[in-house]
Amino acid sequence: MPLSPGPEADADRFVLVASLDNARNLSNLLKAVHFRDQVTVFASANGIRVTAEAAKSVQGNAFIQLRFCRAPGQGSGPGSEASSRNLTFTVGVSALLLFDEKSQCLRRLLQQSEPGVVGEAVSAAIDAGYRHIDGAYSYQNETEVGAAVKRKIDEGVVTRENLFIVSKLWCTFHAPVDVKPSLMETLSALQLTYLDLYLIHFPVGFQKVLGELFPVRDNNMLVSEIDYVDTWKAMEALVDEGLVKSIGVSNFNVSQLQRLLSVARIIPAVNQVELHPYLTQPELVEFCSSRDITVTAFSPLGSPGRIQSKVNDSADPKDLLKDPVVKVIAEKHRKSPAQVLLRFHVQRNIATIPKSVSPARIRENAEIFDFELMEEDLQSLLALNKNWRVCQLNMLQGHRFYPFKDS
C-alpha cells in the first residue's frame, strides 16, 4: 500500500528499509514485482520519476536510496527537479507496506480517551503529518476515529491510500466463526472497506458475553479455551478476501510466535508489545527481527497518564519519564524525556505508538528525527531494564496462553 509523501512531506526525512525474506539479494529486490508496481503507482500518481541511486545490506535488511525527481512541467518552482527523497517500506512474507519514516515510527494509540477528544486528536495528528492510525475494537472509539478520518479525506487533507489504518480483534471474538463479523463491525464503524493491518489483540480468548469486553463472574474472568492458532487461520481468510492487507499479533511471547509460525500460511507482519527502557524484552525483539516480524512498542513512555486505580501496586513503569538517566540524556540533547524515549526505539528499528490527545504533544512526538542518541545513551537506557509492565493482567496467569510467563 503506497503512502505518497504529498506536498506537505518533509523531503529529507524518508528512509527505505526492506526485509530480504522475499528477495535474496538487492538485485532481485529491485526487480521484485510488488516493489516495481508500488513505485510505478507512486510515480504515476505524482508525476515523479524514480531511480535507485544506492543500496547496501545491513543485518539482513536492504537499505536502498531512491531519487525522486519531478517530471518536466511538474515542478513547483526553480530547483524543484533536485528534490531527493527516500521511502520506507517493509516487505513481509505475504504483504508489502509502504509508508514514510514518521508514519512508521510514530503511530497513534487511541485507547482510554474521553468521547470527542479522540476525534480531535486524530484530526490534529493527520494535520501534523501522521499517517498511521493504530486503534482497536476494545478502545470503543472506532466510530469517532472513522468520522475524523472521513472528515480529513473529505477536506482533501489526505486520501485513504495515504493512510495506514490498524485495528485489533478483541478477545471475545477468538472463535473462528466470530472473526469476520467482528472485522466487519470495525470496518463499518471506521467507514472503511479494508484495513491495512489487523492484529489478534491478545493470545487468551474470553467467553463471548453480549455487551461485555471483560466478562467477569465471581471475580473470575470468563476465559475460553479457543486456540489462537485456529483464530489465526480465520485471520488468514480475511487476507484472502481482500478485507485486510496484512495480519499480525499483539502481546505474543517467543514460544507462542514459534508455535504460530510452525503452522501459519501467512506469517505475522507485526507483533505489537509493551516496550520501554524498564521492559526491554531483548530475546523477544531479537526473535522477531530474525523472523522478519516488525515489532511495534506500545506504552513507550510507561503510560504515565493512567488514573491511580489502573496503576499496578508495584513494579510499575509510570515514572519512567522522571528517571534520572532519561532526564540527563534529554538535557544533553536538548530534548524532552519523551522524545528521548521515542528516539530510543526509532534507532533500534522499533516502531512506537505513544498515546496523546494533546495537539502540542502530538507535534512534539514527531520531532525526533533531528537528533541521534549516542551508543552510550542507548546502552544506558537498555541498562534500566527492570521487567516492569504496565499491562500485567494477573487474573489470567492461570491460562495456558497467558503470554507473560517466559518474559
In a domain, 405, yes or no: no
% helix, strand, coil for the chain, step of 5: 40, 20, 45
In a domain, 217, yes or no: yes
- Catalytic residue chosen out of the listed positions 137, 139, 278, 402: 139
Domain count, the chain: 2
* 108 in the same domain as 66: no
Amino acid sitting at position 310: K
* 178 in the same domain as 138: yes
Residues 388, 280: contact at Cβ < 8 Å? no
67 DSSP β-pair partners? 51
- Residue 286: which domain range? 100-396
Among 78, 97, 116, the domain boundary falls at: 97
Compute the distance between CA of residue 71 and CA of residue 46 in angstroms, rounded to an integer: 9
In a domain, 4, yes or no: no
Task: Tell me the helices (H) and strands (E) count for the chain, helix number first.
Answer: 13, 15
Q: What is the CATH number of the domain that holds 332?
A: 3.20.20.100
* 300 in the same domain as 180: yes
In a domain, 350, yes or no: yes
Beta-strand pair 108-109/96-99: unpaired
Among 45, 78, 97, the domain boundary falls at: 97
DSSP of 62-128? EEEEEEEEEPTT--SSTTGGG-----EEEE-SS-EEEE-HHHHHB-EE--S--TTHHHHHHHHHHHT
- Distance separating the N- and C-terminal Cα atoms of the chain: 34
Q: What is the pLDDT along the chain (407 residues), one digit of tens a residue?
A: 222 233 333 322 222 333 333 333 333 333 332 333 233 222 222 333 444 444 444 444 444 444 444 444 444 333 333 333 333 332 222 222 222 233 332 333 344 456 678 899 999 999 988 888 999 999 999 999 999 999 999 999 999 999 999 999 999 999 999 999 999 999 999 999 999 999 999 999 999 998 899 999 988 999 999 999 999 999 999 999 999 999 999 999 999 999 999 999 999 999 999 999 999 999 999 999 999 999 999 999 998 877 666 777 778 899 999 999 999 999 999 999 999 999 999 999 999 888 777 888 888 888 898 999 999 999 999 999 999 999 888 889 999 999 998 65
Compute the distance between CA of residue 376 and CA of residue 20 in angstroms, rounded to an integer: 30
* 213 in the same domain as 91: no
Compute the distance between CA of residue 215 and CA of residue 289 in angstroms, rounded to an integer: 35
139 is catalytic: yes
Among 48, 64, 97, the domain boundary falls at: 97
* 341 in the same domain as 238: yes
* 326 in the same domain as 341: yes
* 75 in the same domain as 108: no
* 205 in the same domain as 113: yes
* 152 in the same domain as 300: yes
* 357 in the same domain as 275: yes
Cell 516493489 identifies what position?
35
* 375 in the same domain as 275: yes
Residues 98, 87: contact at Cβ < 8 Å? yes
User: pTM above the 0.75 mark?
Assistant: no
In a domain, 401, yes or no: no
* 359 in the same domain as 296: yes
The DSSP 8-state label assigned to residue 62 in this structure reads E
Compute the distance between CA of residue 225 and CA of residue 178 in angstroms, rounded to an integer: 15
